[in-house]
Structure 1
Amino acid sequence: MALSDLDPAERHRRIAATFTDRVRDAKAWDAPSPVPGWTARDVVGHLVEWFPPFLAAGAGVELPSGPSVHDDPVAAWQAHCDGVQALLDDPDTALRMLTNRHLGEVPLDQAIDRFYTSDVFMHTWDLARATGQDDQLDTDFCAVLLAGMEPIEEVIRSSGQYGLRVPTPADADAQTRLIGFIGRDPLWTPA
């Protein structure tokens, strides 16, 4: 079944499993990443650190805390990932709302899916590139994300969460176009 056809809990399970594999196989945590100024450790730190306050402020949800990414990025990611998955696996999550001044009210499971799980998906490429691992993303899901993001490009860019679009060839595959759209050089490799 395609990633885009899954419910939020199962989509997170699959996307997070791929990211978890990259986390577990990473060896050089201080290696530069395609995100300017970030290391491989910072990619994991970003996901572990931005999302808990977003949930707490918008839905009153407190995720269990784990070790710091500085001390143990693998254990920090696993504790965080397990907490998010438990939240998505809880049937009551779909009945809760997340309220945000920029988004309004969104069902909690949909907010996690739209803003967090897609972030994990895209940062899988960053971590894989930084650590010399398989960086292939699901092509169909890349196309789905890109199709959803392109019409709201101005809003996305104004958020400050994405870099300037990197031009890609017109005939580039969906992954290359998505990576360029989010402000990464699809040809980036560690120096």
Structure 2
Amino acid sequence: MTSTSVSPQDHYRDLAATFTARVEAVPDGRWDAPSPCAGWSAREVVAHVIDTQREMAERIGVTLPEGPSVENDPVTAWRTLRDGMQAALDDPDVAGHEFDGYFGRTDFASTIDTFYCFDLVVHGWDLARATGTDETIPDADVVWVENVVQGLGDNIRMEGICGPAVEVPDSADRQTKLLAYLGRTV
């Protein structure tokens, strides 16, 4: 469950648990399946999530533990990064570390809570779509991502974030409309 009353630490913990379940559900032989992210396989989606979280931690001088390569063991690679990130978030000094971000002064926990938790939800769906597993995003997470997207405004279309919106029928469900807005063909 996600809501604005949940701490960044607990929000990450909850969304990382969902992402972990998606990673663990990937069937044998599906890691190299193409994902909705152009040019990326399911394995590369997980590598992106790991790499971007690691890079964010390094930006403030935090080194997260190294696991096996995503190429060799994507499940353990993700679990290792997740556990390291959670430990960093649970450390008040790291969580409260302030820096100048793209949108102004912020702190580590707030940045993870917004941008990197967003990635856990959206790339979790990408992974599920690529591997033929359950694509359902919990309703509370759909609402939360909608709020993040609204807060980002036109920045959501910056290079490397989301592609152009895809048209869907007015009758599409809320999850489908959100994913289409984020450039995913559903």
Q: Structure 2 length normalisation: TM-score?
A: 0.90
CA distance in 2, matches of 1:152, 1:78: 29
Q: 1:29·1:40 contact (CA, 8 Å) conserved in 2?
A: yes
Q: Aligned to 2:10, what secondary structure does the other structure show?
A: helix
CA distance in 2, matches of 1:163, 1:108: 26
Alignment pair present for 1:79 and 2:76? no
Gaps of 5+ in 1: 187-191
CA distance in 2, matches of 1:172, 1:166: 12
Letter aligned with residue 95 of structure 2: A
CA distance in 2, matches of 1:95, 1:80: 20
Q: Which residue of 2 aligns with 1:189?
A: none
Q: 1:55·1:98 contact (CA, 8 Å) conserved in 2?
A: no
1:56-114 per-position Cα deviation (integer Å, ceiling 9, x unaligned): 12x222111111111111111110111111111223233211333x2322121111111
Q: Aligned to 1:99, what secondary structure does the other structure show?
A: strand
Q: Which residue of 1 aligns with 2:134?
A: 134
Q: Aligned to 2:79, what secondary structure does the other structure show?
A: helix
CA distance in 2, matches of 1:72, 1:94: 28
1:24-35 matched pairs, under 5 angstroms: 24-27=24-27, 28-35=30-37
CA distance in 2, matches of 1:77, 1:88: 16
Q: 1:163·1:182 contact (CA, 8 Å) conserved in 2?
A: yes
Q: Aligned to 2:105, what secondary structure does the other structure show?
A: strand
Gaps of 5+ in 2: none
CA distance in 1, matches of 2:25, 2:145: 26
Q: Aligned to 1:98, what secondary structure does the other structure show?
A: strand
Q: Which residue of 1 aligns with 2:42?
A: 40
Q: Which residue of 1 aligns with 2:122?
A: 122
TM-fit CA distance, 1:151 = 5.5
CA distance in 2, matches of 1:82, 1:180: 31
Alignment pair present for 1:52 and 2:45? no
**Count of residue correspondences:** 183
Q: Aligned to 1:167, what secondary structure does the other structure show?
A: coil
CA distance in 2, matches of 1:151, 1:95: 22
TM-fit CA distance, 1:144 = 2.6
Q: Report percent identity of matched pairs.
A: 41
User: CA RMSD of the aligned region, Å?
Assistant: 1.7
CA distance in 2, matches of 1:172, 1:181: 12
CA distance in 2, matches of 1:22, 1:95: 29
1:1-191 matched pairs, under 5 angstroms: 2-4=1-3, 5-27=5-27, 28-57=30-59, 59-100=60-101, 102-150=102-150, 152-186=152-186
Q: Aligned to 2:99, what secondary structure does the other structure show?
A: strand
Q: Aligned to 1:60, what secondary structure does the other structure show?
A: coil
Q: 2:46·2:78 contact (CA, 8 Å) conserved in 1?
A: yes
